[in-house]
């Protein structure tokens, strides 16, 4: 047990989310419980993780989550581990919600994206048809998130663009998408900021500089709908700007959506509900949401990508050689320095926001003032 690496999860504590501040102590080694000396609350080591209040061994839970994240059918897991289907579904929901929190904390941080590709997938539920929109950073193959909607419209794409903006710095950014006309309005709506004028009323919104957009439109012909032609057009920006970002992010080439289509195939292979023609239908959108974030987070943090490997020198004392080092998308984006194991991901603790001073009428006491000064 290491109190220096643990934080207080109590939302009413002023020291919540603080790591290595000396406020956490060991309460019981037998029960693996810690205590916060600020709020005097005790908590178990697994609180805030997927394993919290689970009676099954962590190794079994980790194995089941790894199988679910890589597309193993649920009936096979039930048959091998002798578990109830509701138990496996509950573990998948827990892991999906936890992975979404990990994604919001670690991936949705401002960084220079360069080029982003986005696409939508039509998903057939048991009694409904929904649309799943996803985005990918090309240079690091980092999955930037997904949104669900009942209609393929500008509202769905606007929600996706808000997730992309949470991951983006105000730098030149190229969007490569298909021919759906709603992308332009969603991009222009989200990627703008207010200009403070010091006057009353709503300030004027100014679009970001360097926002580029290119479309890839496939034309089909024949009875079987084969692709006969591909039309590439620039909607926002100039051809020189687009070629510059293509050279930086993917080493040149033409405007394409191959990277997002490739990750779409990965999701279809690992989630049975995304298969084009299948009988394994999803009953609720929440199940689809948790499944998507489970697969996406495992892809970002736990899966090495062959195209991201780098060659580094290896010093043997008498000679110098070079060997390949595999990297995950999270490693390529600078989020982490190693490939996470599937056991490390469910056990990761997402810290809450730092404490805020309580609001009370009158003048606060000296003890409260000292606590606010130290922790807030």
Q: Where are the domains of the chain?
A: 105-193+204-305
Long-range contacts of 324-330 (CB under 8 A, 24+ apart): 328/300, 328/301, 328/302, 328/303, 328/304, 329/137, 329/140, 329/141, 329/142, 329/143, 329/299, 329/300, 329/303, 329/305, 330/106, 330/107, 330/142, 330/300, 330/301
Whether residue 355 is predicted with pLDDT greater than 70 in this model: the reply is no
Predicted TM-score (pTM) of this structure: 0.88
pLDDT confidence of residue 195: 84
> Crossing angle, helix 85-102 and helix 74-81, to 10 degrees?
120
* CATH number belonging to the domain at 105-193+204-305, selected among 3.30.420.10, 1.10.287.130, 1.10.357.10, 2.50.20.10: 3.30.420.10
How far apart (Å, rounded) are the C-alpha atoms in residues 231 and 367?
69
pLDDT confidence of residue 376: 67
Digit-coded pLDDT (tens) for 163-205 = 999 999 989 999 999 989 999 999 999 999 888 877 888 888 8
- Asked if 116 and 141 touch (Cβ cutoff 8 Å), the reply is no
pLDDT confidence of residue 321: 64
Whether residue 88 is predicted with pLDDT greater than 70 in this model: the reply is yes
Average pLDDT over residues 346-361: 74
Whether residue 375 is predicted with pLDDT greater than 80 in this model: the reply is no
Report helix, strand or coil for 72. Answer: coil
Digit-coded pLDDT (tens) for 263-301 = 999 999 998 888 877 777 788 888 899 999 999 999 999
Place of tokens 């320095």: 337
- Asked if 350 and 48 touch (Cβ cutoff 8 Å), the reply is yes
How far apart (Å, rounded) are the C-alpha atoms in residues 202 and 181?
29
Structural element, H or E, at residue 124: strand 115-124
How far apart (Å, rounded) are the C-alpha atoms in residues 335 and 143?
13
How far apart (Å, rounded) are the C-alpha atoms in residues 163 and 72?
29
Average pLDDT over residues 55-78: 91
Share the mean pLDDT of the chain: 87
Digit-coded pLDDT (tens) for 224-250 = 778 888 889 999 989 999 999 999 998
- Find the range with the poorest average confidence among 18-22, 246-250, 322-326, 368-372: 368-372
Long-range contacts of 273-279 (CB under 8 A, 24+ apart): 273/123, 273/125, 274/121, 274/123, 274/132
pLDDT confidence of residue 318: 60
Strand 211-221 vs strand 173-177: parallel, antiparallel, or unpaired?
Answer: parallel
Beta carbons within 8 Å of 236's beta carbon, 6+ residues apart: 175, 184, 187, 211, 212, 213
How far apart (Å, rounded) are the C-alpha atoms in residues 141 and 189?
25
Average pLDDT over residues 151-172: 93
Burial class of residue 141, CB neighbours in 10 A (0-12, 13-18, 19+): buried
């Amino acid at each position: 047990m290491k109190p220096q690496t643990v934080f207080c999860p109590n939302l009413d504590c002023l020291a919540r989310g603080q790591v290595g501040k000396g406020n956490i102590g060991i309460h019981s080694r037998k029960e693996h419980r810690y205590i916060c000396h600020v709020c005097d609350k005790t908590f178990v080591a697994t609180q805030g993780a997927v394993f919290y209040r689970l009676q099954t061994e962590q190794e079994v839970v980790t194995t089941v989550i790894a199988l679910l994240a890589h597309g193993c059918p649920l009936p096979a897991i039930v048959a091998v581990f002798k578990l109830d289907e509701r138990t496996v579904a509950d573990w998948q929901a827990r892991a999906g919600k936890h992975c979404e929190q990990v994604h919001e904390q670690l991936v949705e941080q401002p960084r220079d994206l360069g080029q982003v590709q986005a696409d939508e997938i039509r998903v057939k539920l048991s009694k409904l048809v929904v649309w799943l929109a996803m985005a990918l950073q090309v240079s690091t193959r980092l999955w930037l998130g997904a949104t669900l909607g009942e209609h393929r419209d500008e509202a769905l794409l606007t929600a996706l663009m808000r997730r992309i903006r949470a991951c983006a710095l105000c730098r030149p950014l190229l969007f490569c998408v298909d021919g759906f006309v709603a992308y332009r309005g969603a991009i222009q709506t989200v990627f703008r900021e207010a200009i403070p004028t010091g006057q009353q009323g709503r300030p004027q919104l100014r679009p970001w500089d360097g926002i580029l957009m290119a479309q890839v439109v496939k034309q089909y012909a024949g009875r079987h709908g084969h692709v006969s032609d591909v039309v590439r057009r620039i909607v926002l920006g100039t051809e020189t700007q687009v070629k510059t970002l293509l050279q930086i992010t993917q080493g040149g080439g033409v405007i394409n959506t191959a990277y997002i289509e490739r990750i779409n195939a990965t999701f279809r292979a690992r989630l049975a509900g995304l298969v084009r023609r299948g009988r394994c239908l999803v009953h609720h959108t929440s199940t689809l949401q948790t499944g998507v974030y489970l697969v996406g987070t495992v892809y970002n943090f736990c899966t090495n990508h062959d195209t991201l490997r780098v060659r580094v020198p290896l010093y043997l004392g008498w000679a110098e050689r070079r060997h390949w080092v595999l990297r995950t998308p999270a490693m390529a984006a600078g989020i982490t320095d190693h490939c996470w194991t599937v056991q490390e991901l469910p056990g990761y603790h997402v810290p809450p926001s730092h404490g805020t001073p309580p609001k009370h009428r009158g003048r606060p006491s000296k003890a409260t003032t000292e606590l606010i000064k130290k922790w807030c």
